[in-house]
Chain A
Amino acid sequence: MTRIVVDPITRIEGHLRIEAEINNGKITDAFSSGTMVRLIEEILRGRDPRDAWAFVGRVCGVCTTVHSLASIRAVEDALDITIPPNAELVRNLMFCAQNVQDHVIHFYHLHALDWVDVVSALKADPKKTSEIAQSISNWPKSSPGYFSDLQKRLTKFVESGQLGIFANGYWGHPAYKLPAEINLIGVAHYLEALEWQKEIAKVHTIFGGKNPHPNFLVGGMACSISLDDASGINAERLAYVGKLLKDAQQFVEQVYIPDLLAIAPYYLDWGAIGGGLGNFMAYGDLSTSGYRDVGNYKFPPGVILNKDLSKIHEVDLRNDSEVEEYITNSWYEYAGGDGVGLHPWKGETKLKYTGPKPPFDFLNTEDKYSYLKTPRWKGHAMEVGPLARMLVGYASGRPEFKEVVDYALSALNVPATALFSTLGRTAARGLEAKLVAGWGLEFYDQLINNIKNGDTRMANTEKFKPETWPKKAMGVGHTEAPRGALAHWIVIEDQKIANYQLVVPSTWNASPRDKDGNPSAYESALRDTPVHDVNQPLEILRTIHSFDPCLACAVHLYDEDGKHVNKVKVL
């Protein structure tokens, strides 16, 4: 048996460590550990609930917005605030822009190098590359000259000997299967996507003032609609958003999806690897008639157990025996001991590091071994993310989901069981981007119609002043982060935050074992994964990256009450 450590897992957000035991070329056991903590939940205590969105937005700069969104919804839920339809639509547009942008970045910049061999692209025939590119898409950048120029640039780059971000990759590893020409297409689109991603982010800049970390507002959005002022959301701003959304849809349909379907046929064996738990959960989001109208969600909520698509279980985030967090194997302590699970409204975040003193070679995985807590739904480990959302939508019989999933299955000529895999996870992300890019345009049309009909309200400030709040209030806000189901729970007392807990997608997926020793999604998915060369564990990266790890938010973050005098410099 060999025990290997991959730390840092790169091309993710945050600090993740994987230790795996390998027997006869296969992983027999794996341990996932989050190795950085900030305790933002502690930092939030005693602060103004209206400010929470800004603090929790900073738990992650990659899925920037979703935490802020969950936060303002939690506060609005606690204080019973209904926001105007325009604010719902603007939030939906920001969701869509972020989801599509994040999925494209993930596919090209974080995941592609697990499948695309950059060095092999040097051997491609540009003419043949062009023929392939033109056979799979109408995307204009596909001439032989384009690929030939790119290849020349790439050759110079490799010959310089300074490979920068491409240095020390597992190039030439036998698990890379793509023909040189498709590798060259992959590299071309890696660079194009890097250009493209900064465009769609501008939807956030228009409505939220900046990206990363756009601004949100409890009660609505701060970007007033004013067709008669250059500052407000006016015809120019709206036209800008419309163009960005259309360009995004074009990129997804003409670049992302064709590439996905061109690469996947070479890796169909990964349709039977990395399946993992078989339990999937989505909280749902993107309502066409307001966040509270769950029935009109584009992403329906629900739980699937044991890959059984014939039954969708309901999820209730308020029920204190459904979502619970355990710390049996996490570097925390609970007042009630290590064996109990706590519903987030009663959650505790007290650090207790008991791991080895650094520097160390291995963690003691018999004991506590991560800064991630272990969440469970009615005691079950759950996988969350695009695959979970696509499966819940598919199993709910939604035609849009059936259409894209069936299309992909038939294009690749694989059975539905191939969805439960590393390949399925990666494909589901692309199909979801296609759906969301289309929905963004629907929400955009709705927004225009609303304004046309004379509704320009963007915020409900009736309960913005703390004097209007009850003495005690509790709320929960949820959304679907690109990486999966996300919810924040808040307890407000005397106009201040008394408790704040986040249960985030990567906590569901990347957490350590629970009190009964059952693994979470990463650890489960890595079991039985083949590893050709223990010194180049490319296969581990493939499965872990298929979840799109985002660790900074998975570990816990915290505030203390305090009156602070602002320091102002006077010139």
Chain B
Amino acid sequence: MIIETSTKRKTYYEELTAKGYSRRDFMKFCTMIAAYMGLQSSGVAQVAEALKTKPRLPVIWMHFQECTCCSESFIRSSHPIVADIILDKLSLDYTETLMAAAGHQAEEAMHKTMKEHYGEYVLCVEGSVPLGADGVYCMIGGKSSLDILHEVAEGAKAIICWGSCASNGCVQAAKPNPTTATPIHKIIKNKPIIKVPGCPPIGEVMAGTIVHILTFGTLPALDGIGRPKAFYSKRVHDSCYRRPYYDAGLYVESFDDENAKRGYCLYKVGCKGPSTYNACGVMRWNNGVSFPIQSGHGCFGCSEESFWDNGPLYQRLPNIAGFGIEATADTVGKVALGVTAAGIAAHAVATNLRKKKMIDNLISEGKESEQELKAE
């Protein structure tokens, strides 16, 4: 799908130079964005060209049942120019967290964009929508969030669901989901929807998703459940720097034990990395400073559907039919103690099969993405 805007707005490049940034700053920004999107160095020119010629995009950012961690993560996005561009260069016309206007002036600003840019603005949603009791569990300006969502989605070109709340309901949808907290895709069926799950998503992933739209004028390639492939196609486990310890059967047995000090694998103290699709192991958090596993705590799978109900945090992942991670870990543990040699072979075979399959999948996904990009 092509995102175009009909009004004559300035290009990013014009805006940047007008704001006093140099061409060098601009190219640095383009390089960073290209790197995030996994493009080869030749892609930098493509990004630069796109930002020079694409017009500004109006954005409306709604807050429903949420905790604002997504907005906070977004402003942590690490590259200075991104903060500037995304905050005011997008034309962020409505966001309750940062906007100067309040009350009816705030609503007025939103309605102006909805009218003047009908069919072209991007709607970002932070939070789930409670369907219980006719929607009274979240009201803004005397209206239910359900009514507001329908109203504001109507003229949107596409919807970005920030975080797990908007993508899968997150904590308020955990059992027994007392307010019937509902993710956006279950309510709005007739719009392209990008899910950017995580509690919150990594700031640079949020920026990267928006920047993809700005740069190419298309939505990023999505996986089967609507997440950008660029950031959600790998398991944390597969990109984890502690993975060799898992493969070698070396585990932290309890927090702050000797093995923890050695940086061994956290699988036995509950790490959900093996079942979590996210970019934490690759991009890390807050400009690459660390990520949960590096700081000694297992991943708890905050970007996965219903992760709050997927078993206690410190319980190991259970057995899986056909392929037992747990069984493997125990076997390998024994192997490490020198009990059986057969176990090593079994684990090696299982690991290699799994890796091969994963790599095959990634290659075919890559090909699909390329074709989709061309088709659009």
B-binding residues in A (CB < 8 A): 5-15, 17, 35-40, 42-43, 47-48, 50-51, 54-55, 58-62, 64, 109, 113, 118, 149, 152-153, 156-157, 160, 162, 164-170, 191, 194-195, 197-198, 201-202, 204-215, 217, 219-226, 229-232, 240, 351, 353, 355-362, 371, 456-459, 461, 464, 536-537, 541, 552-553, 557-560, 562, 564-571
Contact = CB atoms under 8 A, between A and B. Distances in A.
Contact of B255 (A39, A51, A197, A222): A222
B372 interface: no
A231 B286 CA distance: 17
Interface of B: 9-10, 15, 18-20, 56, 58, 63-73, 75-78, 80, 83-84, 87-88, 90-93, 95-103, 105-106, 108-109, 112, 130, 133-145, 147, 170-172, 174-179, 181, 199-200, 202-203, 235, 242, 254-257, 260-263, 272, 274-275, 277, 280, 285-287, 289-297, 300, 302, 304-306, 308-314, 317-318, 320, 322-323, 325, 354, 357-358, 361
A569 B139 contact: no
Given A157-B88, A168-B105, A168-B109, A10 B96 contact: yes
Contacts of A118: 100
B256 A167 contact: no
A220 B72 contact: no
A339 B355 CA distance: 63
A164 B87 contact: yes
Contact of B317 (A14, A43, A162, A568): A568
B310 A567 contact: yes
Given A152-B20, A229-B263, A194 B87 contact: yes
A165 B91 CA distance: 8
B66 A165 contact: no
Nearest to B141: A7
A220 B140 contact: no
A170, A195, A213: most-surrounded residue (chain B CB, <10 A): A213
A60 B67 contact: yes
Contacts of B108: 168
Nearest to A216: B297
Given A5-B142, A8-B106, A559-B174, A231 B294 contact: yes
B87 A212 contact: no
Contact of A15 (B56, B139, B200, B305): B139
B262 A209 contact: no
A464 B255 CA distance: 9
B304 to A, nearest CB: 8
Nearest to A240: B289
Given A15-B140, A58-B171, A168-B100, A209 B293 contact: yes
B20 A7 contact: no
A7 B103 contact: yes
A399 to B, nearest CB: 35
Contact of A461 (B19, B242, B255): B255
Nearest to A37: B137
A417 B369 CA distance: 66
Contacts of B314: 48, 50-51, 464
14 contacts: A13-B97, A35-B138, A38-B137, A156-B19, A164-B87, A166-B99, A194-B75, A198-B76, A209-B291, A214-B295, A231-B262, A351-B137, A559-B176, A570-B323
A537 B311 CA distance: 49
Contact of A164 (B90, B272, B312, B317): B90
B143 A458 contact: no
Nearest to A231: B263
B254 A464 contact: yes
Contacts of A567: 275, 304-306, 310
Contacts of B289: 202, 205-206, 240
B297 A215 contact: yes
Task: List 9 tightest A-B contacts by C-beta distance, closest first.
Answer: A61-B69, A231-B263, A169-B100, A209-B292, A209-B295, A168-B101, A459-B256, A38-B172, A222-B297
B296 A231 contact: yes
A358 B143 contact: yes
Given A10-B102, A35-B138, A209 B297 contact: yes
Nearest to A113: B100
B200 A212 contact: yes
A61 to B, nearest CB: 2
B78 A198 contact: yes
Contact of B71 (A7, A61, A156, A198): A61
Nearest to B17: A156
B351 to A, nearest CB: 12
Nearest to A537: B103
B171, B295, B305, B306: most-surrounded residue (chain A CB, <10 A): B295
A220 B357 CA distance: 40
B88 A210 contact: no
